[in-house]
Structure 1
């Protein structure tokens, strides 16, 4: 669409806000950076920031856990609460959290900017504790739906805040690796919910235990955040320079504090003084970068990943494997891909992983199309279908899954970072909802060959979109990225 003028089109206008006094003005910071005796040139120890990132990823673990917590126990829940056989009620129990998640994600940017990243995590954990308690103790369908909705608000808030926090507290040389922890934690949460649900058919009322268990990591997140560092970027935006300096020391070590503050001072400090209007994100000067972020999330969902997760049990059953074993295989493929992405994120870079991930997903869809063809013998068709599905999940976890939530906070200017992430995550949830709602009907009307072809086409569209519009951010500080995206005078 933009072709040769890709780099120019990536540069979007960002006007200066009113000047404020700063501990480091431009001349001082330039002298500081040039003075080799005062600035540490080596990378800071990753061990300092790692515990803070680990606590933050508990929100992602909870996100994955609550996505999968009702899958195995759904039949027992419907029997105990009196709606067994009511497919609409069962569907609402599974998807009600998506409605709450949309609300949570829509408000997440304003919450994160208003109260800070640490308190936003605590506000994320609170509805998960309350909602899980309601679901665990309810005696009717209304109580279950209410509990799932309340949990969903925390689920919607968590991913945005986790992406912001991990991006802002991580040293540049490991930011990609830390970003992949979010996807790994989500996978572990999904697998944990499946494992917890195994005894549900043997032990009466076990599904209530499944909800009670989730309160433990939520409470740990809420309490542990008291001891974690606040985002220095958020503190600096608020004019709390001394506190930002103290947090940088926690995260990077004393020898890197001055150089990190010097990086921050290269940009306008008074950004938070100007209110970011919602319209500004939709058609103002920041529309371009928000459009890129929203499109990435939309293509991620239109690739068919959630439909594949939903349909995997049926494919494995037709191959003679149990749904439980199918979930284990899919979970292992998802986790393995996430671990490989963690290793490669800061070596190959975000853009390369995205392109190869989407391309490989398109190949996986081509395998699925071939498997559903009448020209392939029955046994070969089953093997191709299972192999293609596992390949799709694996390659999704390599790039299309973890990269967007890491890349977008990197390319968004600090002034709009939280609110732009909220807009993009809202798009993610809307597409997620409609794909899940329409998948079975489309499968019935179009057939697997055409539907898989459509998913594969979206994957190829994503390859072209990433090539033309996404910039590489590997190894760069957030300030370097933002300065690179400023218009050239």
Structure 2
């Protein structure tokens, strides 16, 4: 279950093996899904702010006028997640995976409630920090807990449930955003309801055991054995216990060989070719994933849709469901194929798809810019008494087209051929 040390080729287990195993041992599903709610919280936080931001701007004029406030509201969750991930590793090693997840739930629920009752933008920012701390801890600890409580032959599929719940949480957030567009306290409901899954996970985790690997490292041998007996058939539990023992002993031996303090451990780890190659691979994958721009799309998806010409908040949120839905479908496909074809192959295929889509978008944007229709003060609201100071003060406004208006922060314009009211957008024009 938790054997380690040697690097082997990906397991070729069919995905139906996962279903067979979990069907026979539903306790495994309970462990994986309960811990995976941390991924759901992560995904929900990523997606919910995109829709909530539209209505926060309507309630707080300073947020609508100042883009740096919008950026701060969005980014403070990421800043909090950096801190949460940094301390989450230490907390999970010191106090256990279970307690780390419970603390993450408390932080997330507290942040959600602070945002829901925020009387001013700075309270929303504070709540975003709390939520980020919880997300950072959960995003690190939840997959760790699942991997340490999963049989090796289906570990890839079970850990992928965390990724599925992340993308599922994003899709759910867009649905909830759309559902609350007609309510009185739109964005408050959108942000505050996130406390519900955090509370649910907190209750579920109270009834679940600690990670068997962590217990074994704390010399709680019998507790670790009792958990393994719930996960594996009686004839396999002893073998898994022996594998766990060998793995932990090898890990401790490697740790002592590397060094005792942090500096020595860093030097020792970097001097180890296996650790170094793994570190390079991990950093490369994460950097490539972030530079794909998917987080920006998720954080600002409805705003991007509005930039494309769909002014209605409801329409923008509805169209954003397409992106989040396809994202969730991709996670399901990866779960079905990860143990059959391996991690590396799926990663290469997905990166090739990302490159192809980004190049296609670049071409589309270039064509849109070069073919944007010309505008004039007779076709639009850019009359001398218009509301766009950039156009009024421009030395040569005659060459302007719809792209020029977009860059000026005023949204789309209209001409005699393609009518689209400038009143659709009110970003910086007051």
1:312–1:136 CA distance, 2 compared to 1 (3 A): closer
Question: Using a 3 Å threshold, how does the CA distance of structure 1 residues 243 and 65 change in structure 2: closer, same or farther?
Answer: same
* CA separation of 1:125 and 1:289: change in aligned 2, threshold 3 A: same
Q: Does the CA-based 8 Å contact 1:103-1:156 persist in structure 2?
A: yes
Partner of 1:170, secondary structure, is coil
| TM-score where L is the length of structure 1 | 0.64
Larger radius of gyration: 2
* Aligned equivalent of 1:348, options 341, 353, 356: 341
Q: Which residue is 1:338 aligned to?
A: 331
Structure 1 residue corresponding to 2:35, chosen from 31, 36, 56: 56
Deviations 1:41-99 (Å, cap 9, x if unpaired)?
A: x9784523111100011111111111222222223324435533222112211111111
Range that drifts further, 339-348 or 321-330? 321-330
Which residue among 58, 69, 74 is the counterpart of 1:94?
A: 74
Secondary structure at the residue paired with 1:57? helix
In structure 1, the residue matched to 2:386 is: none
Structure 1 distance, partners of 2:192, 2:308, is 34
What does 1:194-205 correspond to in 2, within 5 Å? 194-205=174-185
Tell me if the contact between 1:317 and 1:323 (Cα under 8 Å) persists in the aligned partners.
no
CA contact (8 A) 1:117 1:161 kept: yes
Which structure 2 residues correspond to residues 119-138 of structure 1 after superposition, within 5 A? 119-138=99-118
Query: Cα 1:222–1:268, aligned 2, differ >3 Å: closer, same or farther?
Result: closer
Which runs of structure 2 are paired with 1:299-448 in the superposition (5 Å)? 299-309=288-298, 313=302, 314=304, 318=308, 322-374=315-367
Matched position secondary structure for 1:269: helix
The 3-state SS of whatever aligns with 1:69 is helix
Task: Using the TM superposition, give the Cα deviation of residue 201 of structure 1 relative to its aligned residue in structure 2, in angstroms.
Answer: 4.4
Cα distance change on mapping 1:11 and 1:171 into 2, 3 Å: closer
Relative to structure 1, is the Cα distance of residues 92 and 151 closer, same or farther in structure 2, using a 3 angstrom cutoff?
same
- Within a 5 Å distance, the mapping from 1:445-460 to structure 2 comes to none
Q: Which runs of 5+ in 1 are unaligned?
A: 1-9, 13-41, 380-442, 445-489
State the secondary structure of the residue aligned to 1:138: coil
Please give the secondary structure, in 1, of the residue aligned with 2:247.
coil
Provide the C-alpha distance between the structure 2 equivalents of 1:51 and 1:353, rounded to a whole number of angstroms.
27
Q: The residue matched to 1:194 in structure 2 has which SS? A: helix
The match for 2:17 is none
CA distance in 1, matches of 2:297, 2:282: 23
CA distance in 2, matches of 1:251, 1:116: 19
Kindly indicate whether residue 169 of structure 2 is the aligned counterpart of residue 169 of structure 1: no
- 1-side partners of 2:369 and 2:121: how far apart? 45
SS in 2 for 1:203: coil
* TM-score for both structures, normalised by structure 2: 0.72
Structure 1 residues 330 and 171, CA, compared in 2 at 3 Å: closer, same or farther?
same
Question: In 2, distance between residues paired with 1:344 and 1:378?
Answer: 42
**Contact kept in structure 2, 1:46 and 1:174, CA below 8 Å:** no
Unaligned segments of structure 2, at least 5 residues: 8-19, 373-405, 408-430
**Cα offset, 1:111, TM superposition:** 1.0
How big is the shift at 1:297? Answer: 0.9
The structure with higher relative contact order (CA 8 Å, sep 6+) is 1
- Do 1:49 and 1:252's aligned partners in 2 also have CA atoms closer than 8 Å? no
Q: Is residue 223 of structure 2 the alignment partner of residue 223 of structure 1?
A: no
